[in-house]
Amino acid sequence: MRTSLHSALALATVSALAQYTPTVPVDNRTLSEIYAAARREHTSNTTRPFQVFWGGDAGSQGDGIRSAWAQQFPDIPLNLTVILSKYADTRLDEAFYEGTEEPPADVVALQTLHDFPRWKTQNRLVYYKPSNFEDVLVNERDADGAFLAFAVYSFGTIYFDSSKISADEVPTSFESFGDAKWKGKLILTYPNDDDAVAYLFSLIVSRYGFSWLRALAANDVQWVRGTGTPIFELERLHNDTTSTRALTFSAGSGIEASWGVSKAVEPPENIMSWPQTAAIIAGTPQPETAKLFISWLTSNGQQNGSSPSLLTSLNEANGVSPYSSNTTIFSGFRTFETDRAQVEWWKNVFEEALGTPQGPDPLAVYPNPSA
């Protein structure tokens, strides 16, 4: 009975605290000014390196950020850990409910969009508005500054090995992949192991029916864990003359080698994209460094490399928008991700057709660099 009363009081306390939302101004300091404050903070802080949980499934997916940060802010070491978003939120939740004094990460940048409103309600996020806050797409930032998007990620582009299949053969519709012609040629991520891939597959099945899913399941697909894995496997099998594996549509980025080619599906087909979202975790011992990281992620210098961007001004200058493409469903993933009953239903559909995801954690195969 005591435990029940304690739980009820705890829930009431959280509910009461959640009514308070601080009003924070936009931080108009330059990156240099925030960097100076972060250096002072770093000098006085000896608890642990600045820690970022970076949603992904291969350690190399964080290399670009690690390198760019080290070049621009050499005095502050960055410990950026690529981690499956669904595991990152679990680690944060466990630490919170155990009453850990410091969170396991200072900043998170994740795919699990449903987590951020919950964490805000629980007063677990630092409210912060970087200088570009008002320029970030209005639907992709929390109005109070608890979290905001920093990048557009997507799945659904077809990547293929041009030494094994010609561009003319590659279809522009997912419907064709249920045909016997593609038997033994596809490498795909289990849709019941990744919410974004699940959303992509839900769009395809909604268009072509469950018969398409059953045909795909019978087509000798190489099912893998992780969205980086299909590309790594295509690269590994490139020189294997006995392998017919040649293409994927569940990877987030393409093959860097000259034989790796991409092809977009055509309307009315849909691929999916979403706003990868970041937040500062309350209790961080390095708040200035965390603010520097968020300000840097959303700065023009970082956003210039993306098209479309999360900054309205850059999109207008480049004549693009993540909302305007008729081959992407940019806002739909947030709705999908928030409806956990729907996500679970679709994952059960995929599990019944494809089986449970098999194989090791992809980050055990493609790990983060050693410290």
Q: Which amino acid is at 31?
A: L
Range of the domain at 243: 157-264
Tell me, what's the pLDDT at 48?
85
Q: Does the residue 124 lie in any domain?
A: yes
Q: Are 147 and 280 in the same domain?
A: yes
Q: Does the residue 334 lie in any domain?
A: no
Binning pLDDT at 50, 70 and 90, where does residue 305 land?
Answer: confident
Q: Are 272 and 197 in contact (CB under 8 A)?
A: no
Report pLDDT digits (tens) over 40-58: 999 887 678 999 999 999 9
Number of separate helices (H) and strands (E) present in the chain = 14, 12
Binning pLDDT at 50, 70 and 90, where does residue 306 land?
Answer: confident
Task: Work out whether strand 271-281 and strand 148-155 pair parallel, antiparallel, or are unpaired.
Answer: antiparallel
Provide the sign of the torsion angle of the four alpha carbons 292, 298, 300, 301, taken in this order: positive
Q: Are 194 and 282 in the same domain?
A: no
Residue 340 has pLDDT above 90, yes or no: yes
* Cα separations in angstroms, 27 against 5, 18, 288: 42, 24, 11
Residue 3 has pLDDT above 60, yes or no: no
6 or 207, which is more confident: 207
In the chain, pLDDT over 90 holds for what percent of residues?
86
Residue 371 has pLDDT above 80, yes or no: no
Q: Are 199 and 71 in the same domain?
A: no
Q: Are 58 and 82 in the same domain?
A: yes
CA angle 10, 11, 13 (to 5 degrees): 65
Q: Are 76 and 220 in the same domain?
A: no
Tell me, what's the pLDDT at 46?
66
Q: Report which DSSP code applies to 3.
A: H
Closest CA to 174 of 274, 275, 263: 263
CATH classification of the domain holding 189: 3.40.190.10
Q: Does the residue 330 lie in any domain?
A: no
Average pLDDT taken over every residue of the chain: 93
Q: Report which DSSP code applies to 216.
A: H
**342 is written with which tokens?**
């729907």
| Distance separating alpha carbons of residues 120 and 126, to the nearest angstrom | 9
Task: Work out whether strand 222-224 and strand 125-126 pair parallel, antiparallel, or are unpaired.
Answer: unpaired
Q: Are 84 and 231 in the same domain?
A: no
Q: Greatest CA span in the chain, whole angstroms? A: 69
In this prediction, residues 251-277 reach a mean pLDDT of 93
CA angle 276, 278, 283 (to 5 degrees): 155
Q: Are 120 and 81 in the same domain?
A: yes
Q: Does the residue 7 lie in any domain?
A: no
Q: Which residues contact 203 (CB under 8 A, 6 or more apart)?
A: 270, 272, 329, 332
Binning pLDDT at 50, 70 and 90, where does residue 370 land?
Answer: confident
Count of structural domains within the chain: 2
Q: Are 48 and 106 in contact (CB under 8 A)?
A: no
Binning pLDDT at 50, 70 and 90, where does residue 204 land?
Answer: very high
Q: Are 167 and 277 in the same domain?
A: no
| Distance separating alpha carbons of residues 204 and 263, to the nearest angstrom | 17
Binning pLDDT at 50, 70 and 90, where does residue 197 land?
Answer: very high
Q: Are 231 and 126 in the same domain?
A: no
**Nearest 10 degrees: Cα torsion 343, 269, 274, 324:** -140
Q: Are 32 and 75 in the same domain?
A: yes
Provide the sign of the torsion angle of the four alpha carbons 162, 164, 169, 170, taken in this order: negative
